Structure 1
Amino acid sequence: MAKRKFNFAAGAEQNTPDAPETQPQTQSTPEESKSAVQTLVEKIDAPINTAFNFKYIKRDKIIFHAKNDYPMEEIEKLADSILNFGLIHNLEVFYDLENDQYILDSGERRTRAIDYLVEKYKDYPDKDNESYQKYLHFVAPFENGYPCNVKTKYADTDLSESASDLLEQIDAEIRLIIANEETRSKDTLRTKQHVDRLNELYTKRNQTLKKGEKINVNNEIAKQLNISDKQVKNYKDIDKLIPELRKKFEENEVSLKDGANYAKLTEEEQRQILTLIENGENRQEINRLMDQMKAMRSDISTKENQISELENTIENQNAIIKSINDAQNDLKQQLVAEQEKGDPNNEKIRELESSLDDMKNQISAQKKSLKDTVKEKDNMIADLQKKLDAQAKMQSTETNNNSKLIRTQYDLEKGIETLITLFADLEKKLDEYKAVSEDSEDFRKKIQSVIKENGKKFS
């Protein structure tokens, strides 16, 4: 929201509301000036009829917005700034015609800071005090009215039947959130709460608009809060944490980035992370273990997909074998019919017999391929089961309180998996060598010798 700036640093006589054009320019007595100011404040405090207007409003007619749940931080520090430099930004209010009140849309901290200064210095005894003199210069004029940009319609909390009214209500709360975020130091938990609320408001806003008018909610939140799209997504991912980890985030024991990463884990994995945090493991070690768990889960998912693909391959191979068998049976019937003719066609018989031989070879090749596929699937299922067992062991309550033990288990499981893959590859290479050479026995003995020698370490 663009903010109109005013310079209130030029002295009390320049901080009073603009006088009517007919106001006399002659010098007046203090009593006359006071009366003129009172009259002018009463005039400008009348109901406003424009959509946006700068006015000085009596303090007792300004109330705080019910939905402003931001903490009022460092009021005295802000008051000190106003006392020394003047008020830089005016307040923004809605005029509530029904109750004849002005509801703050932006500027609650500034209002409270002025309140603090007025209460402290209005009847200050030491008139020569330097701070009091600054008060007279920068703040005292506001005793007659606070500077406000006034909007005529206040968005109440109750939803209106009109789409335009609903938009106005939504936009008012959006402005309130954004204005407060701009003026406060960043607080992760508070920003999280307001990302959630802005997400609700912008989503509701989109529902009232035509297709071409809708906005990208994440992009808009990022732009308005001056954060990245990735951070908006991270804030939303926090909702996927288990309650105990969510509480750790709220207590600042888990960062936004780490919380978003933990949210990608399964519930069991998150509970394991929780245990490690509670046992005092450092962040680097926890994140390393998290990466290992994610890698293991990825391996399991890959194996499951590969098994599914092999099952499809087996199904297709069975279908091919059935199709060839059906074609073979059809050719056999044709052959028998031709042979039983009184004058059989020998050339056709030879063609049918040749085709049957080809089909027989095709069926033999398909069955061998099917057998290999089934074996591969069985091996992969066994491998998957080992991974699942290893995952369960990593997540067991007996070990999940010791990050070093978990990491070592993971490394051992990966090492065993590498050995199995290596042995399978050696077996395949040895079979290939046997097919082209009669000297494969030497390699077989070398492999057995290496296995035997290194196996002693684990006996």
Structure 2
Amino acid sequence: GNSKNTRKVEEFKAKDNFKIDYINIDRIKRNEKNFYEIVDIESLAEDIKLNGLNHNLVVRKLDNDMYELISGERRYTALNKLINEGNKEFNLVPCKVIESNDIDSEIILIQANAQSRELTEVEKLTQVERLKELYKIKKKNGEKVPGKIRDIIANDLKLSPTQVGRYERINNKLIPELKAVIEQDKLTIAKASEFSSLSEENQRVILSIIDDKTNMSKQEAVDLKNKLKKIEEEKELELKKAYEEKELELKRLEEEKKNQVLKLKSENENLKKKLDNNIEEERKEIEGQIKIEFEEKLKNEKVILEEELKSKYDKKIEDITN
């Protein structure tokens, strides 16, 4: 079902007979939470100058006789431009004043922008990330959030839950350098989503390929991801197997050592009955020492194995990417 905030936006749209207040633009402050690009202000200002303002702004009242902008950042910027150029008739701005707390007004701001403008890939990612944070805060505050957060976000942004999942995966898993490539418009969301399932190491391989090859097709991206994923899985499997074998071998050696200690203990028991307590402490100490040695060996063996496999698989990756 619709989230409460979507209903709010729809109520604002539906109530066209709803009271409009004319507020001096100096009493309206920008919304610092607005992360959307403000573009094409010149042409919008020109249009407002010729035809007037077609849509009112949406604001909320703050404590200090000021208002905060919730919807209409471009119109607000264009109006300020006109006023600064001497068109004082635009000083009074038609506004719908709504009552809303910080969290809800930010959600409404995102919903309004998501539905009314062409978004950049970065804006799409940011709005999903921010809505997720906002709904989590609402839940933490004990407010009722009906249904799954992913479904609510999908409804807010008019996307499918699968698309929202794709954005979440990119936000959570993609390395910052590849996110920067999205910002430069060299990587689409669809491709970024494919690459976000790879390890950090292989995402860096992708990064070097993108630097060399700007126009990779979606199919090429999928193929490349699958090849790297296969290598990742092979490497993981081989490492796991080698590690298990090494662990078994070291456990066997540890068992042998323990048996030797116990044998020594029983041989010496008759001679050292009076020193029983000391022997017990000694046994614990020896066992502790053996355990430390075992863990140390295991760690070293793991490092050696990982290095051996890394060079082997780096060679495979090199063969693919060359």
TM-score, normalized by the shorter chain, greater than 0.5? yes
Residues 255/389 of structure 1: CA separation in 2 closer, same or farther (3 Å cut):
farther
Retained in 1: the 8 A contact 2:235–2:309?
no
1:148 corresponds to which residue? 95
Give the alignment of 1:391-406 within 5 angstroms: 393-396=312-315, 400-401=317-318, 403=320
Q: Tell me, in whole angstroms, the C-alpha distance in 1 between the residues paired with 2:237 and 2:313.
A: 19
> Please, what is the CA RMSD of the aligned residues?
3.7
Retained in 2: the 8 A contact 1:67–1:173?
yes
Question: 1:65-117 CA deviation, whole Å, 9 max, x = no partner?
Answer: 23223332111222233344442221111122x31112212112112223333
> Residue 102 of structure 1 is aligned with which of 55, 67, 83?
67
Residues 93/242 of structure 1: CA separation in 2 closer, same or farther (3 Å cut):
closer
Retained in 1: the 8 A contact 2:174–2:196?
yes
Equivalenced residue count is 249
Retained in 1: the 8 A contact 2:45–2:78?
yes
Query: Which secondary structure does the structure 2 equivalent of 1:70 belong to?
Result: coil
> Residue 165 of structure 2 is aligned with which of 233, 238, 243?
233
Q: What is the one-letter code of the residue matched to 1:293? A: L
Retained in 2: the 8 A contact 1:4–1:90?
no
Question: 1:320-366 CA deviation, whole Å, 9 max, x = no partner?
Answer: xxxxxxxxxxxxxxxxxxxxxxxxxxxxxxxxxxxxxxxxxxxxxxx
1:214 corresponds to which residue? 146
Q: Tell me, in whole angstroms, the C-alpha distance in 1 between the residues paired with 2:212 and 2:234.
A: 28
> Residue 291 of structure 1 is aligned with which of 221, 226, 231?
226
- Is 1:58–2:16 an aligned residue pair? no
Q: Percent identity?
A: 32
Residues 71/272 of structure 1: CA separation in 2 closer, same or farther (3 Å cut):
closer
Q: TM-score, normalised by structure 1?
A: 0.46
Retained in 1: the 8 A contact 2:29–2:66?
yes
1:205 corresponds to which residue? 138
Query: Which secondary structure does the structure 2 equivalent of 1:395 belong to?
Result: helix
Query: Which structure has the greater CA radius of gyration?
Result: 1
1:323 corresponds to which residue? none
Question: 1:369-412 CA deviation, whole Å, 9 max, x = no partner?
Answer: xxxxxxxxxxxxxxxxxxx989853423xx6455465xxxxxxx
- Is 1:271–2:204 an aligned residue pair? yes
- Stretches of structure 2 that go unaligned for 5 or more consecutive residues are 1-8, 243-306
Q: What is the one-letter code of the residue matched to 1:254? A: L
Query: Which secondary structure does the structure 2 equivalent of 1:264 belong to?
Result: coil
Q: What is the one-letter code of the residue matched to 2:36? A: Y
Q: Tell me, in whole angstroms, the C-alpha distance in 2 between the residues paired with 1:289 and 1:61.
A: 54
Query: Which secondary structure does the structure 1 equivalent of 2:20 belong to?
Result: strand
Q: Tell me, in whole angstroms, the C-alpha distance in 1 between the residues paired with 2:237 and 2:312.
A: 20
Retained in 2: the 8 A contact 1:279–1:401?
no
Residues 179/190 of structure 1: CA separation in 2 closer, same or farther (3 Å cut):
same
Give the alignment of 1:31-430 within 5 angstroms: 53-96=19-62, 98-120=63-85, 122=87, 140=89, 142-143=90-91, 145-151=92-98, 153=99, 168-209=101-142, 213-238=145-170, 239-280=172-213, 283-284=216-217, 285-298=220-233, 393-396=312-315, 400-401=317-318, 403=320
Q: Tell me, in whole angstroms, the C-alpha distance in 1 between the residues paired with 2:15 and 2:19.
A: 14
Question: 1:211-268 CA deviation, whole Å, 9 max, x = no partner?
Answer: 7x53321112122122222222222212312333233233222221111211111223
Retained in 2: the 8 A contact 1:65–1:104?
yes
Retained in 1: the 8 A contact 2:59–2:96?
yes
Retained in 2: the 8 A contact 1:55–1:147?
yes
Q: Tell me, in whole angstroms, the C-alpha distance in 2 between the residues paired with 1:246 and 1:112.
A: 29
Query: Which secondary structure does the structure 2 equivalent of 1:283 belong to?
Result: coil
Query: Which secondary structure does the structure 1 equivalent of 2:34 belong to?
Result: coil
Q: Tell me, in whole angstroms, the C-alpha distance in 1 between the residues paired with 2:25 and 2:180.
A: 41
Q: What is the one-letter code of the residue matched to 2:209? A: L
Q: What is the one-letter code of the residue matched to 1:230? A: T
Retained in 1: the 8 A contact 2:57–2:95?
yes
Residues 183/194 of structure 1: CA separation in 2 closer, same or farther (3 Å cut):
same
Q: What is the one-letter code of the residue matched to 2:137? A: K
Residues 102/270 of structure 1: CA separation in 2 closer, same or farther (3 Å cut):
closer
Question: Cα offset for 1:192?
Answer: 1.2
Q: Tell me, in whole angstroms, the C-alpha distance in 2 between the residues paired with 1:246 and 1:4.
A: 35
Residues 62/289 of structure 1: CA separation in 2 closer, same or farther (3 Å cut):
closer
Q: What is the one-letter code of the residue matched to 2:40? A: E
Q: Tell me, in whole angstroms, the C-alpha distance in 2 between the residues paired with 1:390 and 1:171.
A: 51
Q: What is the one-letter code of the residue matched to 1:290? A: K
Relative contact order, higher structure (CA 8 A, sep 6+): 2
Q: Tell me, in whole angstroms, the C-alpha distance in 2 between the residues paired with 1:6 and 1:120.
A: 34
Q: TM-score, normalised by structure 2?
A: 0.64
Q: What is the one-letter code of the residue matched to 2:65? A: D
Q: What is the one-letter code of the residue matched to 2:226? A: D
Retained in 2: the 8 A contact 1:55–1:150?
yes
Retained in 2: the 8 A contact 1:5–1:90?
no
Question: Cα offset for 1:281?
Answer: 7.5
Retained in 2: the 8 A contact 1:206–1:214?
no
Moved more, 246-255 or 168-177: 246-255
Question: Cα offset for 1:297?
Answer: 4.4
Q: What is the one-letter code of the residue matched to 1:235? A: Y
